[in-house]
Amino acid sequence: MIDRVMLLVSAALCASAPAATTAELPAYWPRFPKPRRLYVVQTDSWPRRDDEKGPRHLAFTLHSLSGLAALANAEGRSDAMIWIDLPRSRSYCRWRDAVMEATAARRVDVEDCRSLIRAFSEQGIVKGYILYRVDESERGAYSEPPPGSAGYSNSVNVATSLAGHLGALIVEDADEVFFADLGLRRLLDARDKDERWCFETHTDLFPRDYVHVIDPKAPHLRDYAVATGSLCVFGVSDFTDRVYRWLAPNAPVFGWNGADEYTQTSQMSRLGHYQTAVNWVHNLPALSTVQAGTDAQWESLKPNARSAAHPLSLDWDADSHFTAFVMSDGDNTGWFIGNFCDDSSYWASQSRGRIPMGWTAALCNLSQAAVPVLAHLAATASDKDELLMWPAGYYYVDEYAQDLDDRGGVLKDRIDQFAGRISRLGVTTLALHCRDWDGEQAVEAYKTFAAGVPGLAGIIAIQYAPYNAGLGEIVWVENAEGHPLPVISARYAIWANLSDRFENNGPPALVASLINESAHDHSSRPEGRFDWTVVHAWSRFRPADAGRELLGEEIDQAEAANAPEARRGMEPAHWCAQRLVPTVRVVTPSELLWRARLHLRTRDTLDALAADLMRTRPDSAEPLGQFRERLRQTDLSEDRSARRAFEELKRIASFD
């Protein structure tokens, strides 16, 4: 009988209201205490002579070793953790150094991991190993669903699920001799076991607060799974459905599953869970030791400190066309931890900072699992960068918990998990992903988010396919104070090779021409003055002269990866902005939302701003109250009277 291990210092899901201290904020990612020593291990740290063979799948075993070390540290049986070093990754080297600084841990470089295994064995941290069989199916990791061709095995996920509970390394059968030679004993032979057997035999072992979905072909993230004692599965099936129903509501799904994006995300959305997209991540246990509010103060983690502007600091512009650009795929927590910050297509682009740019980002996840990454983003953001909040994971808000009895209650609890963190980070714009952006379930979800997250400027909505299905249409919902908030759908998408499939999709030049056309005539539709473009993060384009045809930037995507002139991410957005006519003003997403509110719902917006100022500036309560009374009696149908009311409030609030 395997004894259940209580793993986490603080990992229970909590649906209570956000509280005053960081420790009281709901935490849905496992946390780990700081180590006093950090062993830095290379993935090839098994020295041998040229004629000697070593383990074929050492990376899998090293991840399990790191997980066992993190578990022992969490339980007070050790003061050490492991960092699997990636010296060629500038980002991971930065995060490693940040962890060292925040924890004050002593760095111990390990040249031969066998010595570390022996030491952990002597301390009782490593008690033996679990044998698994390699998945030999002919398919790419995460690129095709299981089982693929013959030879599929998910026994490595069985080994990973049980490793922390047994104190076991995970070892491929062909590598067994190497670890037996170290004096370790086989604790379990999982080669003929599968995930279903593991779950049905040992259900009581696993926490119901989360689950890991990891491709048997990949070693990544297994340190986190071992350290948290998590069940580990893969694939979209009736068995996965059963596991998701067994989980507590609002459980994070760590990793990425084996099916097309919509199918796997829809399955967990409908059952009230959410993707984290951390399947390619290393070293989450060590990264998770750095805590927001203690190791890094919340003020230093606010990513929009330079770009944020109060709506009363804006000018009153009734003539310009306002547009914003927003980078896609910010739900991908692993991307931010991996190469996002140092990729010249994105955060390290020379074009970043030249135009206002919205970046969707997994900020709530980073504030728990990778504070060094969030701190770097906040420290390096320009006054033109605005990071938007994906609602703490990837899920379709209109499908969320729709297969559960209490859908509304589950969604409200989901929002309570992260609303306090949004406020702490000073983020005012939500980006929500939907299956059907303006369907009844989507609108109900918008209402729930608007009422549950204080201080929002508004919401931008993206449909799964096409991203810009709403073509710029606006849905209005009310916040908790009863004031209207806009939900603005994407009108355009910079997306390669889609111009003949979806309206307003295409390369930068085509999208720029469409924006310019909209700017010429919106007199009959005031909402048309406010729109935004979603920039598909992975679409590549080639530079083209302004005089060339509108599709001149298109390039075959299969060839683009090897084309040195091809660009993606920030630079194509900049090309688009350069082609806009002078009457178009590029703004941040939050400014777009506020300008839409000011011009399309003037009375309600000015009243909301005055009410907020009365709470924060009690010395001005009397003139603000008088302003609100006059506002109720003023005809704001003409631009001149609306401008006059806006300027009056600016003067009272000293924003003029």
pLDDT digits (tens, 9 = 90+) for 244-276: 999 999 999 999 998 899 999 999 999 999 999
pLDDT band at 23 (very low <50, low <70, confident <90, very high): low
User: pLDDT (tens digit, 9 = 90+) per residue, 312-334?
Assistant: 999 999 999 999 999 999 999 99
pLDDT tens-digit map of 489-503: 999 999 999 999 999
pLDDT of residue 43: 82
With 80 as the cut, is the pLDDT of residue 173 above it? Answer: yes
d(CA 535, CA 124): 51
How, if at all, do strands 484-489 and 474-478 pair?
antiparallel
Structure-model confidence comparison of residues 340 and 52, the more confident one: 340
Q: Is the pLDDT of residue 16 over 70?
A: no
What pLDDT is attached to residue 18?
25
pLDDT over threshold 80, residue 519: yes
State how far the Cα of 59 lies from the Cα of 88, in Å rounded to an integer.
16
- Taking Cα atoms as reference points, which of 452, 478, 481 lies closest to residue 601? 478
What is the rounded CA–CA span in Å between residue 171 and residue 529? 60
82 within 8 A of 14, measured Cβ to Cβ:
no
Report residue 196 as tokens: 């279903």
3-state SS track over 318-335 = CCCEEEEEEECCCCCHHH
Considering the entire predicted model, what is its pTM?
Answer: 0.94
Residue 433, C-beta contacts closer than 8 angstroms, at least 6 positions apart: 331, 390, 394, 395, 396, 397, 462, 463, 464
pLDDT tens-digit profile of 393-426? 999 999 999 999 999 999 999 999 999 999 999 9
pLDDT value of position 17: 24
What is the per-residue pLDDT across 28-60, written as a single tens digit (0 to 9) for each?
A: 999 999 999 999 998 887 876 565 667 888 999
Evaluate whether 307 touches 382 at the Cβ level (below 8 Å).
Answer: yes
Residue 523 reports pLDDT greater than 90: no
Q: Please give the residue that has the higher pLDDT: either 397 or 8.
A: 397
Least confident of 148-152, 244-248, 493-497, 538-542: 148-152
Domains, the chain, ordered by start: 22-287 (no CATH), 319-599 (3.20.20.490), 601-652 (no CATH)
pLDDT over 80 (residue 7) = no
Give the pLDDT confidence score for residue 458 in this predicted structure.
98
The partner residues of 57 in beta bridges, in order of sequence, read: none
